[in-house]
């Protein structure tokens, strides 16, 4: 398993549905070591702390393997060019991972990096800003149906992360998987 991208975002106004909305969903890839603090990566911002950030949602991780799915979804919606590439961070994630999917992850599992440890806390719940970031109004629905949600991490041990480094998954209590938690949350919202 490898950390293929580390991204940070700054809060800024974007037009969503004809109105200016503050967001930091668009993350930009950075190089070199990035400090990991109890509330997330140094230099990263979150706007709506009721749904992002905090101790339980300090860092957002997303599997790189799903990027092809999103390219196809954008093309089907007519918002992508033929040779379009989505940069790491396009899902709003801080960490783009390779070799670890949601189906392999349980709440309480630990990702052990060389200089820090992060604990799987919960799946991401998509919001209306995700539709805007993807450029089409059915992105949230596509995430709900596919289960390609990624997951939030809390910080067990502060330190640093860097793109290109390997990491290990240490199993936690294995009571609730990320797909089970995500499906329960999506079902609750759709009722």
**What pTM was computed for the model?**
0.94
**What is the H or E stretch that residue 35 is in?**
strand 34-37
Domain ranges for the chain: 2-190
Pairing of strands 40-41, 159-161: unpaired
Q: What is the pLDDT of residues 15-29, one digit of tens each?
A: 777 788 888 888 999
User: How far is residue 47's CA from residue 68's CA, in Å, rounded to a whole number?
Assistant: 28
Residue 47: pLDDT band with limits 50, 70, 90? confident
Q: What is the pLDDT of residues 59-91, one digit of tens each?
A: 999 999 999 999 999 999 998 776 788 999 999
**What is the H or E stretch that residue 182 is in?**
helix 178-190
Torsional class of 150: left (φ above 0), alpha (ψ -120 to 50), beta (otherwise): left
Q: What is the pLDDT of residues 166-183, one digit of tens each?
A: 999 999 999 999 999 999
User: Which homologous superfamily is 2-190 in?
Assistant: PK beta-barrel domain-like (2.40.33.20)
The full DSSP string for 135-150 is TSTTHHHHHHHH----
């Amino acid at each position: 398993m490898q950390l293929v991208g580390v991204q940070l975002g700054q809060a800024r106004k974007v037009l969503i549905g004809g109105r200016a909305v503050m967001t930091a969903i668009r993350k930009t890839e950075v190089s070199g070591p990035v400090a990991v603090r109890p509330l997330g990566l140094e230099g990263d911002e979150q706007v709506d702390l009721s749904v992002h950030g905090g101790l339980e949602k300090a860092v957002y991780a997303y599997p790189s393997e799903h990027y092809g799915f999103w390219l196809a979804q954008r093309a089907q919606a007519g918002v992508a060019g033929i040779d379009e590439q989505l940069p790491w961070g396009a899902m709003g994630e801080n960490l783009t991972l390779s070799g670890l999917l949601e189906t392999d992850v349980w709440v309480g599992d630990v990702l052990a990096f060389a200089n820090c440890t992060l604990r799987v806390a919960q799946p991401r719940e998509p919001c209306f800003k995700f539709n805007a970031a993807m450029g089409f109004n059915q992105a949230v629905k596509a995430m709900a149906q596919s289960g390609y949600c990624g997951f939030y991490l809390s910080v067990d041990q502060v330190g640093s992360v860097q793109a290109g480094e390997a990491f290990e998954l240490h199993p936690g209590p294995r009571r609730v998987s990320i797909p089970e938690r995500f499906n329960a949350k999506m079902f609750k919202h759709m009722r």
